[in-house]
Structure 1
Amino acid sequence: MNPALELLVFLGTLLYAYAEALVKLLLPVKRKAVRGELVLVTGAARGLGRATAREFARRQSRLVLWDVEERGLKETAEECEGLGATVHTFVVDCSKREEIYSTAEKVKKDIGDVSILVNNAGVIAAADLLSTQDHQVEKTFEVNILAHIWTTKAFLPTMMNNNHGHIVTVASAAGHFVTPFMVAYCSSKFAAVGFHKALTDELSSLGKDGIKTTCLCPVFINTGFVKNPSMR
């Protein structure tokens, strides 16, 4: 994109964001009460997943934490239990559909109905497209978007029966604005944003106004995947 045009687009987006923030500051939306809700967070072993789990713990939610990394998952659970939350952990590889479905059945049978689902698990392969291995591309899509679909299919039926629930899609700013050397990642995050928008519209069409949706699109975060991230 032409640098001057890129600057104009950026300034327009920035002004819109500030205007929106000002309106929300003056007319704040009532915070959602999450006390006692059963919250499932994928990718909870570190980074944004761990921070999200801590926040729900502070708000006295019951937690179900998933991650493929057992040690980090245990550390997150200990932190949340220290905040007074009831925590259940499951070592789950979110790139494997059947593992997601089987663990979801265990959660529903042994713990209860998940009412808030935070699809946070994600992976990144930072390289130019031709240097990115095929298995890395596949893994990126399996975790960053397909896992969102499988977990939602697993827990959405009960939410729909109760017309109560919340599905959080953790995407990325890379789901709106592309960056070089991250073709697979950006593509998967564009898909995640599209999933959120399509799901939101579908739930509205079905009259399920008690099921809320949220899409998070943070910029780069130093979570261990990319050290000291920066961009222009």
Structure 2
Amino acid sequence: MPYFQGKRILITGAGTGLGALMAEQFARQGAEVIVTARRRKPAEDVCKRVQAAGGRGHAMLLDVSDLERIPAFRDEVHAQVGPIDVLINNAGVVFGGEFERVSLAEHLNTLQINTLGLIAMSHAFLDDLREADQGHLVNIASASAYIGLPWGSTYAASKWAVLGFSESLRLELRERGINNVAVTTVCPSYINTGMFDGVRSPLLSPMLRPEKVVKSIMRGIRDKEAMVAEPRMVKNIDLLKGVLPGRVWDEVAKRTGISTSMKHWQGK
């Protein structure tokens, strides 16, 4: 039996991009997918793709930035569908530009969605995951969780926070003896979904195909990996930063294009 057969998976931000593709691929493995988006039509369109792929689909409205509504949303999920087995915190936004030229509202919205909404969803649904035979929390972070990202400062900050939260919760669950819940953090470089149009990918880190990232995420869930990084060299960034003097690392980041990759961001 396929690993995802019969599992009930909730994906935030699944109306487009990586989330929509994940929903469809999980459905091909026999999963029941709760597709959430801020607008009804994208959620319903992806839900149709889920059903066409052989899975059961449910389209539900959710704006993770509305933190106070999340507990009520959980109750709606329980009433309309039932408790979940897997939560994939995929919803995210990015705003690029010179720090003071990006509006404060956009900076704060980045943190509200990418970090606070993710934490609130994890808090609301953790009991579901604990009651599942094999519960799984998947948090989509970024390769920028390891580095400074000029022209994307609050995006990087939000993903640093996601990585720290995910690792802390993973270790806490282990120390508490809650062994049926796995936590996986996903740290990809730039993905070709439209969010990062205009960026110049760093040396040795080409723009990623979303299909490849989804395949790695599904493998990571099956294997209960703590970390999924694409490309794999992302896992070596911490080691490289730790070995090199700070000024040398700054020069490496500049010469490889890390420090300037977001300079011409035009994404959505």
Short-chain TM bin: 0.7 to 0.9
Does 2:43 correspond to 1:39? no
Aligned with 1:195: secondary structure? Answer: helix
Write out aligned runs for 1:175-186 (5 A): 175-186=145-156
Unpaired runs of 5+ in structure 2? 202-256, 258-268
Q: Which residue of 2 aligns with 1:96?
A: 66
In 1, Cα distance between equivalents of 2:186 and 2:20? 15
Write out aligned runs for 1:48-67 (5 A): 48-67=18-37
2:176 to 181, 184, 206: 206
Alpha carbon RMSD of aligned pairs, Å?
1.6
Aligned length: 202
Unpaired runs of 5+ in structure 1? 1-30
Deviation at 1:230, TM superposition (A): 2.1
Task: Kindly provide the CA deviation profile for residues 127-183 of structure 1, in whole angstroms up to 9, marking residues without a partner as x.
Answer: 121112111111101110111111111111132245630000000111112221000
Aligned with 2:188: secondary structure? Answer: coil
In 2, Cα distance between equivalents of 1:161 and 1:53? 23
Aligned with 1:216: secondary structure? Answer: strand
Does 2:166 correspond to 1:196? yes
Is the Cα contact below 8 Å between 1:41 and 1:64 reproduced in 2? yes
In 2, Cα distance between equivalents of 1:221 and 1:162? 31
Task: Kindly provide the CA deviation profile for residues 170-224 of structure 1, in whole angstroms up to 9, marking residues without a partner as x.
Answer: 0011111222100010000000111110110110011011101111111111222
1:107 to 71, 77, 86: 77
| Deviation larger for 219-228 or 178-187 | 219-228
1:170 to 140, 144, 150: 140
2:101 to 116, 127, 131: 131
CA distance change for structure 1 residues 154 and 103 in 2, over 3 Å: closer, same or farther? same
In 2, Cα distance between equivalents of 1:230 and 1:45? 26
TM-score, normalised to structure 1's length? 0.82
In 1, Cα distance between equivalents of 2:197 and 2:18? 15
TM-score, normalised to structure 2's length? 0.72
Is the Cα contact below 8 Å between 2:86 and 2:129 reproduced in 1? no
Is the Cα contact below 8 Å between 1:118 and 1:170 reproduced in 2? yes
In 2, Cα distance between equivalents of 1:71 and 1:224? 19
Q: Which residue of 2 aligns with 1:121?
A: 91
